[in-house]
């Protein structure tokens, strides 16, 4: 096309081009056009490949198709062809791959050719997804090796712009239904970081991802959560991601979550949902420094700050039972902390808080679980508190539902078992039995 060319001549040229593209020499024409120095001619060459594939009358052998397409792509990259030409050629290769049954190595070859340009490799994977007519499960199976390979490339990439672009993509999708799928990508990415032994520079990547997802896990207003099960499932996935991320970020992650709790609880009008999110995340990290952990636990200092904060005296003023339930769960998750020298001073006070929580029906299951865990793990440290436990139990026993009631009684018996003086142990056991018997009698007496 040249300026001033008449529409008649343009239409005539277009008809001749289409005829040539569909002819027996069309495949060779495509290769020839791609060998020119004109980007527009190169683009038409790629289009000619597509026409030939669609017509399927004069196609060469399958092996030659694969070889020619990859050869053209290699030439495009080594000769720095225009991006729009390379992108179009990648879309053609993606279509051929999806319709083939014997070209398994194609994506890996593409990966090697585009190793210095992950953005183009991402576009290739996008073409695979957009052009596929396979059922989702079949497509996932076909693409899993390629996505895993992409993750490895991203991890090993020195091109921070590529990682930043994916991070930006994450921010865009954080309120989108695809957020869970993108989180799966970051889980795979973090697993690869951990297994490859990358240094702390990965914090610069993973930290912003955590920050991006933070608003998504916050309750805000529980009345607005139409599907709690779906929301809870997403939060569990995020907690799994945090647990992986901890292996990269380390104790700074505990520090940040602790700061969120302390900063908000010291405000006159604290943001309970922000506190709840942080407690939920700390809950998810508890196993990392649990019983099987070997070595020092500097995170216990962060947990100590939470248990000596005003959190536990201010929780009764919180109207959200979900917030209070997360707080109760937090106590039960850190049984190893309460066995440590840092945690022992808070053990009795915390258990009294849990016993008091038994008076609230919606907290009974969580509170009784936490009471049972703490009394089991720290029974030798609680002898002096038995009198208080029995007093509180006597006050709330008639209001506790059956399963939490059983857990609470078992918890108290754990502590009784640790009393070394047999006479004292028998005396306290009888007190507990009398309370249980009185409660049973009052609940089974017929109404007058």
Contact present, 77 and 113 (Cβ < 8 Å): yes
pLDDT at 276: 96
In a domain, 64, yes or no: yes
In a domain, 163, yes or no: no
User: What one-character-per-residue DSSP string does 218-236 give?
Assistant: --S-GGG-S-HHHHHHHHH
pLDDT at 172: 42
In a domain, 256, yes or no: no
CA 236 to CA 217: how far, in whole Å?
9
Contact present, 43 and 51 (Cβ < 8 Å): no
Q: Which residue has the tokens 């405000």?
A: 267
Contact present, 258 and 305 (Cβ < 8 Å): yes
Tally of domains within the chain: 2
Longest dimension (CA), the chain: 113
- For the beta carbon of residue 85, count every other beta carbon within 10 angstroms: 20
pLDDT at 56: 67
pLDDT tens series, the chain, 448 aa = 455 555 655 567 678 878 888 888 888 899 999 999 999 999 999 999 998 888 766 677 888 888 999 999 999 998 999 999 999 999 999 888 888 777 877 877 887 787 677 678 777 877 776 766 555 545 555 555 555 555 555 545 544 444 544 554 444 444 545 567 677 778 877 887 787 776 666 677 788 888 888 888 888 766 566 677 778 888 898 999 999 899 888 888 999 999 999 999 999 999 999 999 999 999 999 888 765 554 567 888 899 999 999 999 999 999 999 999 999 999 999 988 998 888 999 999 899 899 999 999 999 999 999 999 999 999 999 999 999 999 999 998 888 999 999 999 999 999 999 999 999 999 999 999 999 988 777 665 555 5
pTM: 0.66
pLDDT at 6: 56
Contact present, 243 and 218 (Cβ < 8 Å): no
Contact present, 284 and 242 (Cβ < 8 Å): yes
- For the beta carbon of residue 116, count every other beta carbon within 10 angstroms: 10
What's the start-to-end Cα distance of the chain, in Å?
104
In a domain, 158, yes or no: no
Domain end residue (candidates: 100, 131, 162): 131
Token digits of residue 316: 């009764």
In a domain, 100, yes or no: yes
CA 360 to CA 321: how far, in whole Å?
9
User: What one-character-per-residue DSSP string does 179-216 give?
Assistant: HHHHHHHHHHHHHHHHHHT--GGGHHHHHHHHHHHHHH
In a domain, 396, yes or no: yes
In a domain, 323, yes or no: no
Domain with 125 in it: 14-131
Contacts 24+ apart (CB under 8 A), 233-241: 234/179, 234/180, 234/183, 235/280, 237/180, 237/183, 237/184, 237/187, 238/183, 238/213, 238/281, 239/280, 239/281, 239/283, 239/284, 239/285, 240/187, 240/284, 241/183, 241/186, 241/187, 241/190, 241/210, 241/213
Domain end residue (candidates: 131, 147, 176): 131
In a domain, 107, yes or no: yes
Domain end residue (candidates: 82, 105, 131): 131
CA 270 to CA 320: how far, in whole Å?
13
Cα dihedral sign for 352, 373, 248, 144? negative
pLDDT tens string 118-149: 678 777 877 776 766 555 545 555 555 555 55
pLDDT at 260: 96
pLDDT at 439: 77
The SS3 call for residue 131 is helix
- Backbone angles phi and psi of 116, in degrees to 5: -95, 0
User: What one-character-per-residue DSSP string does 327-363 give?
Assistant: HHHHHHHTHHHHHSTTTHHHHHHHHHHHHHHTTSGGG
pLDDT at 293: 52
């Amino acid at each position: 096309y040249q300026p001033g060319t008449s529409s008649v001549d343009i239409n005539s040229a277009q008809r001749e081009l289409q005829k040539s593209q569909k002819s027996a020499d069309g495949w060779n024409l495509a290769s020839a056009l791609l060998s020119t120095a004109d980007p527009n001619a190169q683009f038409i060459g790629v289009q000619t490949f597509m026409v030939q594939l669609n017509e399927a009358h004069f196609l060469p052998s399958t092996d030659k198709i694969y070889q020619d397409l990859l050869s053209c792509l290699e030439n495009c990259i080594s000769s720095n062809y225009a991006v729009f030409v390379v992108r179009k050629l990648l879309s053609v290769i993606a279509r051929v791959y999806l319709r083939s049954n014997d070209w398994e190595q194609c994506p890996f070859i593409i990966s090697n050719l585009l190793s210095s340009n992950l953005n183009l490799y991402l576009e290739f994977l996008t073409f695979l997804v957009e052009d596929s007519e396979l059922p989702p499960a079949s497509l996932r199976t076909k693409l899993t090796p390629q996505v895993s390979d992409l993750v490895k490339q991203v991890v090993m990439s020195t091109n921070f712009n590529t990682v930043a672009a994916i991070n930006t993509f994450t921010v865009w999708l954080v309120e989108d239904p695809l957020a869970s799928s993108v989180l799966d990508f970051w889980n795979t990415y973090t697993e690869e970081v951990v297994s490859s032994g990358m240094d702390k520079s990965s914090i610069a990547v993973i930290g912003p991802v955590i920050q991006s997802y933070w608003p998504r896990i916050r309750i805000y207003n529980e009345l607005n959560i139409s599907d709690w099960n779906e929301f809870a499932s997403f939060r569990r996935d995020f907690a799994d991601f945090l647990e992986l991320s901890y292996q990269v970020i380390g104790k700074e992650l505990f520090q940040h979550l602790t700061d969120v709790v302390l900063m908000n609880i010291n405000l006159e009008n604290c943001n309970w949902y922000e506190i709840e999110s942080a407690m939920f995340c700390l809950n998810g990290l508890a196993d990392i420094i649990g019983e099987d952990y070997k070595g020092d636990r500097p995170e216990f200092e962060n947990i100590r700050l939470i248990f000596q904060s005003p959190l536990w005296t201010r929780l009764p003023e919180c109207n959200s039972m979900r917030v209070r339930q997360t707080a109760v769960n937090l106590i039960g998750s850190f049984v190893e902390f309460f066995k440590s020298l840092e945690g022992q001073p808070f053990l009795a006070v915390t258990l009294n808080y849990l016993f008091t929580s038994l008076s609230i029906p919606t907290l009974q299951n969580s509170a009784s679980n936490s009471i049972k865990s703490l009394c089991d793990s720290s029974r030798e440290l609680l002898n002096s508190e038995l009198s208080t436990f029995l007093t509180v139990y006597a006050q709330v026993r008639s209001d506790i539902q059956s399963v939490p009631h059983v857990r609470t009684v078992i918890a108290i018996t754990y502590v009784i078992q640790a009393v070394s003086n047999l006479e004292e142990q028998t005396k306290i056991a009888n007190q507990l039995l009398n309370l249980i018997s009185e409660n049973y009698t009052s609940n089974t007496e017929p109404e007058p």
